[in-house]
Amino acid sequence: MLPAESEAALQTSREKTAVALSSVLAAVFLTVMKLVVGVISNSLGMLSEAAHSGLDLVAATVTFLGVRVSGRPADLEHTYGHGKVENLSALIETMLLLSICVWIVIEAAERLLFKAVVVEAGILAFLTMVVSIIVDFSRSRALMKVARRYDSQALEADALHFSTDIWSSIVVVFGLVLVSLSNYPGLEWLMKMDALAALGVAGIVVTVSLRLGCKAIANLLDTIPSGLHSKVAQAVYGVPGVFDVKQVRVRRVGPEAFADLTLTVDREATFKQAHNIATLAEMAVRKILPGADVVVHMEPTLETNEALPAMVRNFAGEIDGVKEVHGIRALSLKDGLHIAFHLQVDKGLSLKHAHDITERLEDGIRGRFSEVKHVSIHLEQHCDDVLKVEVLKDPRIFQDIRRIVSGHGEVRGLKNPRVYVAEGRFHIFLECLLDEDQPVETAHAVLSHIEEELKSLFPDSIVEIHSEPA
């Protein structure tokens, strides 16, 4: 990590820790205040708020510890860092909130159905709730500001706790107002409003807790928002030089985002070109996921027609009687591919036996490769022995060879031509000098034309031409 990045990470950790610690202190103050006033007034709504704030104290402590741990850098045992601790702390807070709601609901049901409790809705209770609302409002704003700045789920959870305290406090105040009216004749039933207010607090807390818990679980399971995968893929598809996006994987670890991409690029691209494409792909991802750690894996394009010859050669090797396959060509037609190649079999085989081998090979290729519609096989004899040859020195033969070669202006010179005779056919070996800047495709075309002309002049000959830069 660069010094500037290290300093920025340290500053982030300090700010998150400071705001989390302030929440712990605020939660201590509110819990003690509500508990004392709740006991004095005997208000279940107030006691439920004290329990709620007590839980906030535990949650704030968990957040404080979680933020401190999550700020640690990655190590050998936590290669993605410690950010998941924030998600875990948010889940723990959710479970604590739901557990306290169970107690509130049980106590409220008892007060509504089985026991009468006198609630003292005095001025102290009202002042306590007003102070609580003010503190909750200031803390929720401070926490949410830092949570959004650093994308911290733990701080966001803490902010939600304090914001729900505001609404639950308002519900309690409303309940206390109704309880205070129960002193008037005919309105004694309003004494039950305190328990109903407590149920209202529980309802608010459950709703927020479930939403927060689902988000924490989703992050722990590496769930990403709907549509994010396609957004990242489309952004990378727009990078010049990217032929295909084969894989996109995105995960969040606390506030940090990680993306792994597998892209295909031109197989003839240089290392520098491929590196530039990868850099542009990383930038495209970070426009959607700011600050993301992006890893790009590059693969060369591989056309079907390019891979097919190798697959055909491997398949042919599985057929009994096949000695060698060479000269494989794949031709693209409207209805599919036409495969043509030379097949070598033992020279002692009968034509019928050799034909059976070619038919098995043709049927097998069409069955295994559905895109292949036509197969053409040129049958040749295979010879494992070293051929006994005779060196040919007839000057007329060499004159004809030089005449054909010199007819192609691209050839700068002819070196060491050799002609042998074996089994009644010519074996011609040439070394042609071509311009060093000549594209391989052009050089191959020139040599192929020379080969065709020589075979036309010397039927059934074998021609091998080696090219060298002039």
Residue 407 is predicted with a pLDDT of 92
412 and 266 inside one domain:
no
The confidence band for 3, taking pLDDT boundaries of 50, 70 and 90, is very low
CATH number at residue 203: 1.20.1510.10
Q: Which residue has the higher pLDDT, 448 or 10?
A: 448
Number of domains in the chain: 4
Residues 370 and 290 in one domain: no
What pLDDT was estimated at residue 9? 56
Mean pLDDT, residues 64-86: 64
pLDDT of residue 4: 46
183 and 75, same domain (yes or no):
yes
Shared domain check, 196 and 60: yes
Q: Are residues 412 and 399 in the same domain?
A: yes
Q: Could you write out the three-class secondary structure of the chain?
A: CCHHHHHHHHHHHHHHHHHHHHHHHHHHHHHHHHHHHHHHHCCHHHHHHHHHHHHHHHHHHHHHHHHHHHCCCCCCCCCCCCCHHHHHHHHHHHHHHHHHHHHHHHHHHHHHHCCCCCCCCCHHHHHHHHHHHHHHHHHHHHHHHHHHHHCCHHHHHHHHHHHHHHHHHHHHHHHHHHHHHCCCCCCHHHHHHHHHHHHHHHHHHHHHHHHHHHHHHHHHCCCCCCCHHHHHHHHHHCCCCEEEEEEEEEEEECCEEEEEEEEEECCCCCHHHHHHHHHHHHHHHHHHCCCCEEEEEEEECCCHHHHHHHHHHHHHCCCCCCCEEEEEEEEEECCEEEEEEEEEEECCCCHHHHHHHHHHHHHHHHHHCCCEEEEEEEEEEECCCCCCCEECCCHHHHHHHHHHHHCCCCEEEEEEEEEEEECCEEEEEEEEEECCCCCHHHHHHHHHHHHHHHHHHCCCCEEEEEEEEC
Same domain (yes/no): 123, 209: yes
- For the stretch 235-267, pLDDT in tens is 888 888 887 788 888 887 766 778 888 888 876
Same domain, 265 and 178: no
Q: 256, 274, 300: which is the final residue of a domain? A: 300
pTM: predicted TM-score of the whole model, two decimal places? 0.44
Domain termination residue (choose one: 354, 382, 410): 382
Same domain, 214 and 290: no
Q: In this structure, what CATH number is given to the domain that contains residue 361?
A: 3.30.70.1350
What would the pLDDT profile of 394-428 be if each residue is shown by its tens digit?
A: 889 999 999 999 999 889 999 888 988 887 788 89
Query: What are 207-230's pLDDT values in tens digits?
Result: 877 877 787 787 777 677 777 888
- What are the pLDDT digits (tens) for 300-341? 764 544 567 777 877 787 788 888 888 788 887 777 788 888
**Structural domain boundaries enclosing 167:** 3-220
Question: Do residues 205 and 69 share a domain?
Answer: yes
42 and 120 part of one domain: yes
Domain stop point among 220, 236, 263: 220
pLDDT mean over 172-200: 70
Is the domain of 316 the same as that of 170? no
| Percent over 90 (pLDDT), the chain | 5
Q: Are residues 105 and 196 in the same domain?
A: yes
Lowest mean pLDDT among 19-23, 62-66, 435-439: 62-66
Please report the pLDDT score of residue 393 as a whole number. Answer: 84
